[in-house]
């Protein structure tokens, strides 16, 4: 019976999780102004913090642009 050893599974999950975290940090720091050029090195905490602030601004704007749900009181008044 061909089974995958647990250690191989754990190593794969850890690799995927590490790659995911790296991608999220890269995307967030790019919102904070980090350019990610070859000679730039690792992103700094300031870029990460600014990126999180910009991401929060984007989330608030997105929520604001969504259509608001209908008010239940309006529906009751329309039926009456």
On whether residue 72 sits in a domain, the answer given is: no
Q: Is the pLDDT of residue 8 over 80?
A: no
At 80 the pLDDT is: 52
The two counts, helices (H) then strands (E), for the chain are: 3, 0
The structure tokens 């991401």 sit at 55
Residue 80's Cβ-count burial label (10 Å; 0-12, 13-18, 19+) is exposed
At 47 the pLDDT is: 94
On whether residue 27 sits in a domain, the answer given is: yes
On whether residue 75 sits in a domain, the answer given is: no
Confidence (pTM): 0.63
How do residues 14-42 score in pLDDT, each as one tens digit? 777 778 888 999 999 999 999 989 999 99
At 57 the pLDDT is: 95
Could you give the number of structural domains in the chain?
1
Q: Output the six-digit token pair for 14.
A: 């850890």
Mean pLDDT, the chain, as a whole number? 82
Expressed as residue numbers, the domain containing 10 is: 6-65
Cβ within 8 Å of residue 43, ≥6 positions away: 25, 26, 29, 32, 34, 36
């Amino acid at each position: 019976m061909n089974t995958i050893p647990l250690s191989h599974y754990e190593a794969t999950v850890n690799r995927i999780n590490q790659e995911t975290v790296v991608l999220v940090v890269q995307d967030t720091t790019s919102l904070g102004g980090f350019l990610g050029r070859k000679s730039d090195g690792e992103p700094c905490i300031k870029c990460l913090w600014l990126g999180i602030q910009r991401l929060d601004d984007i989330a608030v704007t997105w929520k604001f642009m969504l259509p608001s749900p209908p008010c239940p009181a309006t529906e009751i008044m329309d039926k009456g």
